Amino acid sequence: MSNYLGIDIGGTNTCYGIVNAEGEFLYENSIKTESVESIEDLADQIYNDVKKKADFVGIGIGAPSVNEKTQSIEFAPNLNWGDVVPLTKIFSEKFGMEVNAVNDANAAAIGEKSYGEATEMENFAVITLGTGIGLGIFINGKIVVGSNGLAGELGHTVVRRDGRECNCGNFGCLETYIAKDGIVRTAKEKLEFSSGGSMLNNISPSDLSPTEVFKSARKEDPVSLEVVDTVTRDLAFAISNLINILDLECVFLSGGISKNGNLLKRKTEKHLKAHVLPNLRDKSLLKISSLNEKNSGILGAVASIQSKMAVLIN
């Protein structure tokens, strides 16, 4: 049986693991993405770590803003390794084996389809909530790649005309409101204008995070509840648009922010009821991915290299 190396490059952490054919992890580790200077540096660090751990025959990589046709990261707003990063080329030169790169949200969706709760589903989406906002879509059992290999940039759909400036150069993008920095910014704005006290005032501004906001909201902190309400309403707008356009069986939430579980799901579902078309309401499920963030990303990357190598062998 063959093992594979799966790598999930995120804006905050890069997680990787050696996985066997059954999807079991033989080894896993992670690196802070900010500490990596270039894609060559990343390939070197992972190579030096995994070379003596277990053998593997191919590498799958999930990363933000991957163009699956060119196999490069192109203009990633949340990574600092240059405009065009030739991901597959660098890794295949370093490791001397077959490499396949997919968009990180597509990797999460492929992971859900191969190893998660979507194995029987034909039409579903996975939204990754973290440093950025990603989207992987399966329609009629196939992942949607798009004519330029760039489908699924949900984070850069505009939700406010003349809204917040985004790293992509546009204004009012969804991720400036519901990704990590967007949630913290909303919390700071609401704190500034709130007359009453808030538990969030006890946290130093540099430590403020979505986790802290959700934690305080669970304790009924009024400012935190307001932030969670705003965030889940914007998320519900995006999800209801997807359901109304694509008639999806299920939307999975994945990524760091999705670990705020029940509160995130419950509030988002409340707002969804108002915006999903009546004849689609209650037919489309909202679920928190049962594969945790790094697992679905790594497993999806592994599934993508497995299927690429199967095509090459046949």
Interface ranges with Zn ion (CB under 5 A): 156, 166, 168, 170, 173
Name the residue nearer to Zn ion (CB basis): 110 or 133.
Answer: 133
* 200: number of Cβ within 10 Å: 22
* Dist CA 137 CA 114 (whole Å): 14
Closest distance to Zn ion from the beta carbon of 291 (Å): 27
Q: Which three-class secondary structure state does DSSP give residue 80?
A: coil
Name the residue nearer to Zn ion (CB basis): 125 or 173.
Answer: 173
Closest distance to Zn ion from the beta carbon of 19 (Å): 32
127 strand-pairing partners? 135, 253
Closest distance to Zn ion from the beta carbon of 80 (Å): 16
Closest distance to Zn ion from the beta carbon of 176 (Å): 7
CA triple 206-212-217, angle to 5 deg = 140
Closest distance to Zn ion from the beta carbon of 67 (Å): 17
* Dist CA 37 CA 139 (whole Å): 37
* Dist CA 114 CA 221 (whole Å): 40
Name the residue nearer to Zn ion (CB basis): 112 or 175.
Answer: 175
Name the residue nearer to Zn ion (CB basis): 170 or 244.
Answer: 170
Name the residue nearer to Zn ion (CB basis): 25 or 171.
Answer: 171
309 strand-pairing partners? none
Sheet with 250-254, side-by-side order of all strands = 142-143, 133-139, 124-129, 250-254, 285-288
